[in-house]
Amino acid sequence: MRISPLAAATLLSVSPSIAAAGELEHGFTTPPNTARPWVYWTCQDGHYSNEGASRDPESMKKAGVGGILRMDCTVRGIP
């Protein structure tokens, strides 16, 4: 089977695009740590348990969160 020069050129130009699409998909499904989102994690007036203080960050990491900014907030009206 003989391929025309135009068909060969088309195949050669499409191949890098397919490879780039695969790299893009891989980067999207498994982003590097520098591209993962961070979240604010606030604890109102210290209202949290030791169990929750360890399980919450573990769950966030499992969900793909890259980092946490934790703050203990004092808010009026919270006992």
Flag whether pLDDT at 5 surpasses 80.
Answer: no
Flag whether pLDDT at 30 surpasses 90.
Answer: no
Residue 68 has what pLDDT? 93
> 15-32: string of b/e by CB count within 10 Å (b at 16+)?
eeeeeeeeeeeeeeeeee
3-state secondary structure of 2: coil
Confidence at 15, pLDDT banded by 50, 70, 90 = low
Segments making up each domain of the chain, as ranges: 1-30, 32-79
Residue 79 has what pLDDT? 62
Give tens-digit pLDDT for 32-76.
Answer: 888 899 999 888 777 778 898 889 999 999 998 999 998 887 777
Residue 19 has what pLDDT? 63
In which residue are the tokens 């790299």 written?
23
